[in-house]
A = this chain, B = another copy of it.
Amino acid sequence: MAVRHEIEPAVEAWTLIWRLVQANRPRMVRLAQELDLAPMQLHALRLIEPGAELAMGALAQSLFCDPSNVTGIVDRLESRGLIERRGAARDRRVKILTLTPEGERVRAEASRLMEQPPPELAALPAEVQVALRDALRKATDPGRSPGP
């Protein structure tokens, strides 16, 4: 019988992804500090698209946290003048969030900085970058995920 010392490629890939993301945590923390935003504030800001509307509840779902939590995060973004909160016309229980012009500016800057790949990826030969991208496209392709 064959001896199997090899671990599953998916297991090793997942471990390596974790390592890569961990190694880049200091950069992300520094980035948030430069924008004078706490990590979750930055995350929330990125989930509100320019010109679009987002209800508090939808934001809570996207952030994977309790609605009671979102109140504070939104409070802080609002008092910094980055977002606005107003009641929805058709159901006055829900609060609609929109970016202010300053919010759009900060969000664009944040996105520009965050999408810069870490040196470990940027230094890879072009063909390895392409192989990595193509494999990740297949993993995150919505058409592949389990049905509704």
Contact = CB atoms under 8 A, between A and B. Distances in A.
Closest 4 CB pairs of A and B: A9-B129, A132-B135, A14-B117, A16-B136
A23 B122 CA distance: 23
- As for how many copies of this chain the complex holds, the number is 2
A17 B124 CA distance: 16
Interface stretch (A74-82, A99-107, A138-146): A138-146
A52 interface: no
Contacts of A17: 17, 20-21, 136
A9 B127 CA distance: 9
Contact of A129 (B8, B20, B119, B121): B8
**Interface majority SS (helix, strand, loop, mixed), chain A:** helix
A134 B146 CA distance: 26
Contact of A29 (B12, B64, B122): B64
Given A9-B132, A130-B9, A138 B116 contact: no
A38 B14 CA distance: 22
B117 A11 contact: yes
B124 A132 contact: no
A147 to B, nearest CB: 13
A135 B133 CA distance: 9
A31 to B, nearest CB: 13
A128 interface: yes
Contact of A9 (B9, B26, B118, B133): B133
